[in-house]
Structure 1
Amino acid sequence: MSGVAAVLSRRGQHTLARREARRFHLFVSPWVIGFVLFTGGPILASIAISFTHWNLLRSPTWAGLANYQKMVNDPEFWDSIGNTFYFGLGAVSLGVVFTFALALLLNQPLRFQGLFRTVMYLPSVVSGVATALLWLNILHPDFGLINKLLALVGVSGPPWLGSTEWAMPALILMSVWGAGNTIVIYLAGLQGIPKTLYEAAEIDGASWWRRFWSVTVPMMSPVIFFNVVTGFIASIQAYTLILIMTEGGPANSTMVLGLYIYRQAFVFFDMGYAAALSWAMFLIVIVVTLIQFGLARRWVHYEFH
């Protein structure tokens, strides 16, 4: 009887396992189907499209490496890469410093702390179009808020988005506006630092600056590194706000790679060349990320002994 009971128990376990497996595949199937149809499938298709000439009106024709050869000899492509790195370095540098400083302030035990955190996070949930329209008014050369404030101290503000010199700095300044998610990540990291480290440093006579530089920064270096990597990837792919605000102008001074791809695909309808440019962007993201991981060994600290 005990043997029969053991066999029945094993059968029941196998039945339960199969039932759980079916439920797992049932629940995960929408994501798998969505990934194959809307992400994985288009990614694989773009590889084939990059070797063709296709204007959406006619069937694709095989082009071989023509699109990649065109890319190498395209001066606008190289200019867009330069603008992309200009925007990326500026946006990430300013974003890291500004959001880290805000996170430090919001981590202090102040009155209405929750209100301040909510106010700082709100811009990150505003849609991109609304953000672009807001900043178009803020940066307006005649009645914009920034130039009005500069006029109060006797400074004549630049034309911002209408200037080849100031358009990109204006976009970099605007990029910090929606950094609420980054601030939340910094806050989580700051609250994870053991208070005993600060107490020990204070007992040793360390000043607030020494505590910040020797305790806060090393303990936060993995979080800073994460935000730098993700921020740079996002800046390389940026194009929506730039499209709405400048359309790459004036004189292509804000023509970043993402916007250049959009223009080739949906203005000139050169889908093959746009697909090739997309894979160039992918390669740039991979190379930049690998370089960042290589440099991270010098300043990111994951363990303390």
Structure 2
Amino acid sequence: MNEVKTAHTEKTRTSSRQTKTARQKTKSNLAAGYIFISPWLIGFLLLTLWPIAQSFYLSFTDYSLLEEPVWTGLDNYTKIFTADTTFTKSLSVTFMFVLFSVPLKLFFSLMVALALNKNIRGMNIYRTAIYFPSLIGGSIAVAALWRNMFGIDGYINQVLAWFGIEGVGWISNPDTSLGTLILLNTWQFGSTMVIFLAGLKQVPQELYESASVDGAGEFRKFISITLPMLSPVMFFNLVLGIIGSFQTFTSAFIITKGGPINSTYMYAMFLYEKAFKHYQMGYASALAWILLTIVALLTIINFAASKYWVFYESDGGKPK
């Protein structure tokens, strides 16, 4: 009996030591993990989370960089929504830009992706050549080139003159200035096109073969197979396109300076000038949070509506 009791006690001690060793090993692994991620964690806390918190606080203050922030409560937001006509103008211009540029960019990207999704000789060269301009698509140099192309003596008007057509000042005309920026944004389709092309590669060819046997034409295949199978990719590009378009700044700043008559005065330009031209940092912070709220609401709406048109193969081809 004593031997059994002694063996049980020894077994309990061994189990306790093993549990303690396992706990120490787990703590050691956790400590090592935290050490490895500490550079990112410190950077996130100091360079991302802290500035976000500071921006939120400053949106309720009067702050000019030269003096200490003065708490003003909701004064900045009240002024923005009730007394600042420039806010309304810049927001309407930005919404107009998003409304036209995002669908055009998606459509053009999809069409190019379909054209490049062919098994012909040298296709990789064509894909590289078409995507290459997107590497510099958002640069200041491209914006300056676009300004020269659409100027009164630019390349576009020179080409039109060959056909006896008198060109206009595309940038200096309020009726066409925003259109030039929309066209530039559409031309910067490279990344969106690559994502569409990757999505097209994932569509099972058996579906097209079965449709051909049933007598479906190319247009029917596109409507009934390609679009439903690409809907998750389209949704992804749509959300990213809306977010990116609301932040458009470089093209408007370099090409038109927001003119003429504020016809291309984007919201990001308005925010930038309030912050770095008029040094109204508190006011600019409030504008930034309003922009964040608008983009977040549109994203939520897109996610809510996606269940009606986004199809997933894992769900049997039904909307999620």
TM over 0.5: yes
State which of 68, 86, 98 in structure 2 corresponds to 1:76: 86
The one of 197, 217, 225 equivalent to 1:207 is 217
Secondary structure of 1:96's counterpart equals helix
Q: Distance in 2 between matches of 1:161 and 1:276?
A: 31
Q: Name the count of aligned residue pairs.
A: 304
Given that 2:94 and 2:266 are in contact with CA atoms closer than 8 Å, whether structure 1 keeps it comes out as yes
1:202-241 equivalences under 5 Å are 202-241=212-251
Aligned to 1:40: 49
**Structure 1 counterpart of 2:268, from 240, 254, 258:** 258
8 A contact 2:61–2:70 mirrored in 1: yes
How far apart, CA to CA, are the structure 1 residues paired with 2:48 and 2:142? Answer: 27
What CA distance in whole angstroms lies between the structure 1 residues aligned with 2:16 and 2:116?
Answer: 61
Q: CA deviation at 1:84?
A: 0.6
For residues 149 and 8 of structure 1, what CA distance do their matches in structure 2 show?
85
Which residue of structure 2 aligns with residue 132 of structure 1? 143
Q: Tell me what 2:290 maps to.
A: 280
1:91 is the counterpart of 2:91: no
Map 1:1-305; keep pairs closer than 5 Å. Answer: 3=11, 10=19, 13-72=22-81, 73-126=83-136, 128-144=139-155, 146-302=156-312, 303=315, 304=317
Partners of 2:221 and 2:191 lie apart in 1 by 26
Aligned to 2:3: none
Q: Are the equivalent residues in 1 in contact too, given 2:143–2:250 (CA < 8 A)?
A: no
Task: Please list every run of 5 or more consecutive structure 1 residues that lacks an aligned counterpart in the other structure.
Answer: none
Residue 164 of structure 1 and its aligned partner are, at CA, apart by 0.9
Q: 1:30 to 1:241 in 2, by over 3 A?
A: farther
Deviation at 1:267, TM superposition (A): 0.7
With normalisation by structure 1, the TM-score equals 0.93
**1: distance between equivalents of 2:105 and 2:76?**
35
Q: TM-score, normalised by structure 2?
A: 0.89
1:101 aligned counterpart, secondary structure: helix
User: Which moved further from structure 2: 285-294 or 206-215?
Assistant: 285-294
Q: Calculate percent identity across the aligned residue pairs.
A: 40
Aligned AA for 2:55? S
Structure 1, 177-186 or 11-20: larger mean CA deviation: 11-20
Over alpha carbons, which structure has the higher Rg?
A: 2
